[in-house]
Each structure stands twice: as C-alpha cells, then as structure tokens.
Amino acid sequence: MEDCDAVEVLICGAGAAGLTLAIDLARRGVSFRLIDRLAEPFAGSRGKGIQPRTLEVFEDLDVVDRIAAASGPYPPQRRHHVGGGHDEAQSFAITPPTADEPYRTPLLVPQFRTEAILRERLAELGQAPAYGRELRDFTQDAEGVTAQVAGPDGVATIRCRYLVGGDGGRSFVRRALQVGFPGRTLGVRAIVADIVLEGLTRDAWHRFDDGDMARQVAFCPLPHSRLFQLQAPIPPEGEPDLSVRGLQAFVDARIAGSGLVVREVAWASAYSMNARLADRYRVGRVLLMGDAAHIHPPTGGQGLNTSVQDAYNLGWKLGAVLAGAPDALLDSYEAERRPIAADMLGLATDLLEKAKQGDMRRGRDVHQMDLAYPSSLLSLDLTGRAAGVRAGDRAPDVPLQGAGGQPRRLFDLMRGPHWTLVGRGADAALPPPRAGLHSHRIGPGDAFRDVGDRLATAYGMADGDLLLIRPDGYVGAVLPAAQAARLEAYLAACLPA
C-alpha cells in the first residue's frame, strides 16, 4: 500500500491503559504506534489511588520505585462538623508487607504523575506517544486494520495487524465497532478539580457536609505538590463555573464561614457517574481496554488500576500471537477480563452507595490482590486440590536463596516479559530451553534454593511438581510430577513454536 505507515499494533489513546500496553509491547520488541488526540499529556489528578496488585504490575514494568517516590500514604479522612470540631478515621488499614505480598497498602499518586512516570519508562525503551493524532476511521480485513489518523500534517493512513482502543469512556473505537455499552447512569454528577487552596492542613483528606451528603465537599492533599483535589457532587443541570472565582463561590456556598481561599485552579472537570460494560472486548482484529470497555464511579479507586491490568493481560497475548502463537489466545483476553470488570462495576457502585451514607472505609476487596482466572481455558490445574494456590490465581511471591547465598525472590525470577517454569527438587522434569520461557529447578545443588520450604508451603508443591507462571504473574499450570508430559501441549497453545 502506498504512503502508508505499517506497524504491528496501533494503540489509540495514551492514558494509563495505552501507556502500559506500549511499555509491555516495547519490551517485547513488537512494533507499534501510540497515538492520542490531545495536544499534550493529560494534566489532571483524577485516578489517584494505586492498588497493591497494580504495584506488583509496576514492579514488573520497572516503575514501582518511581511511583512510590511520587506517592504519599492515604491520609486519614477528617470529617468536619458544622459549627466546629471534627472526627477522623483511616480509610485503609495500613498493613505491612509480607513475604508473599510485598505491597499491601494503596498509594496516593495523582494520575498526571503516574502517566508521566509511564512515559518516562516508555522513553527508556525508545518510544513516545504521538500527541495531536486523532483516530478518525478504520476498516479491518482478514490480515489487518487500516486506520485513518488526523494529525498536524493532515490525515495519514496506518496499516496494522491489530488495533487496540484505549480511548476512554466515550471510545471512538467502541462506537465505530457498534459494540453495545449497556448499564446505567447513576444520577450523580460531580466536579473534580486540582486547586491551590489556603486554610487547610495537608495531613488529612478533609470532608465537609452539613448532614446532607449531596452538599459534601472533599479536599484531598496531593503528595509532593501544592495541590488539593477537590471533589463534590453537583446538581444534574447547569454548567458549573470552574474558574478560581467560580470555585471560590462554590466553596463559600457549601461551607459557610470556612475562610478557605482558592488561589489557583490547575485542572478541573465536571462529570456524570455511570456504570457500563462493553458487550464485547474483541471484534476481529480490534480490541478494547480500560475505560473504553468499562466505566463506573470513582469510589474505591478501581478504574485506572483495572485499565492498567487490562493492558497487562493483553500485552503478552498480543506479543505471542504476533510471534506465531495461535490467534485463539487473544480470545482469552475478553474471557478473563470482562468478568473482572463486571464484578468491579458492582463493587464501585456499592461503595458509592456507602459513601452517600458517609462510610468511606475500604477493605481488601479494592486491593485487586484476589482477582483470579480459575475458569479460564488457560488455567490448567492437575493437582486435584481444592485449597491453596491453584491455576488462575495470582502467583504469590516467595523468598528464595541464590546458590551463592544471596537473597532472591520468586518475583525476581518472574520479572520480564517471559513465562516462568519452576520445578521443585531434582526429580522435576524441565523441558528443553525455548524462547520466552525461563525454567528453574529449585533445590539443593541448583541455582536457587527453597530455604525453609517456603515455596513448598506457599504453593503446596511436592518433589517433582511443576509450576508454570504466566508473563502477567498468574499461575497458568500446576502439574504434579506424574503429569509433567501435559506441559508441552499447554505451551504450544500459548507460546510461539
């Protein structure tokens, strides 16, 4: 085709989902283009809660320490009473790391910082989003997708083997595919604004209401900045004035005599809350991820996290199929991720109802650590056991010891775009080496040792057992020694020959 750029994957939307997918594809050597119609990166704090499971993903993508440095702990919720005084409560129990869960407490990082760190990582991999590029049209055929992208020099044609729509709640890609987005409008409209504010301390997430949650105003201090994130419900009709003067008047009207002074507005927006789920995540060579596939209220801090994890589930599958693995592997993306989003919509909507009653406490269910794919076709569990870690579960970390005596972790062996096969003891029958698979026999005389039988305990592994961990950190297969021969057929379905 003439005058046509060709890449393996075109990613539409450089939000958290698009950036995560781009990093994963870049480290796999997949050629892609990442476009966004914005002229420059998104500047708002919106999704500011990074959950423990996403921190594990970020460890694998080599950004977790930068995210932690940019973060702060969740401040306590301070509820101010009318006429003075307040009460205070932690919204999360702060729980220390354990050997199998190195991240246990959500971190507070404004979305613009998270995305900046992801762009930084992408730059290290030699790539960058192309801003000011809008996907306007696309058609697909048996071999690929032809996309029309409007940019500063006019409309360009990009030919790709797969198109991924990570283009947000109003997704052009989803609408162009005519994929339904059923659900409901929740009847809650709110403003969110990043402001410089005088009159509040930065040691708490301040909430003001006069007994009426519909008149609540909350100010969350954003770490390592002068900003507070203001969130407040507003009436369904009318355009709010989001200027300094407009927000000052809003604050004065909601909190009589507070003396709070709005000095600057760095970013502001008004939005209506919806809970909606795309009917399909894949139509031929086009896939949907992130808010393009699911939207829900911000309560519980699930949206950005679910979007990152969609991309992380999709990245290795796209990489494998592009390298020659069966195309059916891509069907497992919708089969695994759509039920997770359906559950998350229920969770976020329940938490919205609780927030309306003033209950801001959050439990382990928002951490996303217990998400699993037990009924996925990719989960092969031949142990016959009903308890303990099973195929489809998140792979817990385990402390190991290198043969030289150095401390090592199972997560160290998993880090990177490959699959990880662990065989316990000298009887474990490891297959011959192959691209994309790292195999380790763990036991005396091997490169790694299971000091204190932690691997055996965490995974319930007996001598000779094999444990296969997917590139996205979920257990793919657990094979007792006697069934090790089943491994080859499993690998053939997921890895290029």
What does the block give as tokens for 335? 């089969």
Nearer to ligand FAD, 52 or 303 (CB): 303
Binding ligand FAD (rule: CB under 6 A), the pick from 68, 271, 446, 480 is: 271
**By CB under 6 A, is residue 13 in contact with ligand FAD?**
yes
DSSP letters spanning 188-201:
EEEEEEEEEEES--
Alpha-carbon distance of 359 to 347, in angstroms, equals 14
If we measure between CA atoms, which residue out of 42, 66, 68, 6 comes closest to residue 131? 42
Element (H, E) at 301: none
Binding ligand FAD (rule: CB under 6 A), the pick from 71, 146, 274, 302 is: 302
Binding ligand FAD (rule: CB under 6 A), the pick from 11, 304, 366, 413 is: 304
Q: How far does CA 204 lie from the centroid of its chain?
A: 26
Under rule CB under 6 A, which residues in 30-59 are in contact with ligand FAD?
35-38, 42, 46-49
Structural Rg of the chain based on CA atoms: 24
Binding ligand FAD (rule: CB under 6 A), the pick from 71, 225, 248, 307 is: 307
Strands (E), 152-296: 154-165, 183-198, 205-208, 217-221, 227-234, 261-277, 282-283, 286-288, 294-295
79, 88 Cβ separation under 8 angstroms = yes
Alpha-carbon distance of 17 to 292, in angstroms, equals 10
Q: How far is the CB of 45 from ligand FAD (least distance, A)?
A: 8
Provide the β-strand partners of residue 437. 419, 434
Binding ligand FAD (rule: CB under 6 A), the pick from 223, 240, 301, 396 is: 301
Nearer to ligand FAD, 303 or 476 (CB): 303
**By CB under 6 A, is residue 337 in contact with ligand FAD?**
no
Alpha-carbon distance of 298 to 304, in angstroms, equals 9
Instruction: With contacts defined by CB under 6 A, name the span among 119-127, 160-168, 254-262, 318-326 that binds ligand FAD.
Output: 160-168
Nearer to ligand FAD, 64 or 135 (CB): 135
Nearer to ligand FAD, 125 or 176 (CB): 176
Instruction: With contacts defined by CB under 6 A, name the span among 76-84, 166-174, 212-220, 434-442 that binds ligand FAD.
Output: 166-174
Q: How far is the CB of 27 from ligand FAD (least distance, A)?
A: 19
Which residues in this chain contact ligand FAD in the complex, by CB under 6 A? 12-18, 35-38, 42, 46-49, 111, 134-135, 166-168, 172, 192, 231, 271, 290-291, 298, 301-305, 307
